[in-house]
Amino acid sequence: MESLLDQMITKINQVNESLDGTIAQINQMNDSINQMSGKFSQEIVSLTENVRLIVEVLKQFRVQSSKSMQELSEDLNQRIKKLWDNKAIEAILEDEKKAISTIKKAQKSVGNNLYYAQLLTIIQSIREETNRILSARNI
């Protein structure tokens, strides 16, 4: 009977040692997860700041390009008005008037397309940065 009791005590001690090892592994995994979480949070903060800076630069670029386009448009309009005032524009055929209108529309469309291209570039950069962070996290 005492032999059986000793065997049970030995088994219980082995189970306790095994549980101690498992608890130590769980604690180590918890520490690793906490470190990864901290690094991930830092990367997200960095990414957010980078996106904010990119958006700010694009806003400034858009304002500057809009000013430049506005100046060009005003200059073109002044020249057309001068031609109109001098009655020189009356000699322009109807097709040429349509061409001028088309050029004005194209100018506006080019400005919009430039803006959308910039937004697509930002989205692609964000996607690449997110994939890089996720890849680093999975490693």
Q: 78-124 pLDDT, tens per residue?
A: 887 776 666 655 666 666 777 777 777 777 777 777 777 787 888 88
Domain that holds residue 84: 40-138
Tally of domains in the chain: 1
Per-residue confidence (pLDDT) for residue 93, from 0 to 100: 66
Q: What is the pLDDT of residue 71?
A: 79
Rg of the chain over all Cα atoms, to the nearest angstrom: 35
- Tell whether 28 is covered by a domain: no
Q: Are 30 and 112 contacting, i.e. CB atoms less than 8 angstroms apart?
A: no
Assess contact for 47 and 96: CB atoms under 8 A.
no
Name residues whose C-beta falls within 8 Å of residue 55's C-beta, 6 or more positions apart in sequence: 122
Closest CA to 58 of 100, 12, 116: 116
Residue 80 covered by a domain: yes
Residue at 94 is within a domain: yes
pTM for this structure?
0.40
- Crossing angle between the packed helical segments 2-85 and 94-138, to the nearest 10 degrees: 160
pLDDT, tens digit (0-9, with 9 covering 90-100), for 17-57: 888 888 888 889 988 888 888 888 888 888 888 888 888 88
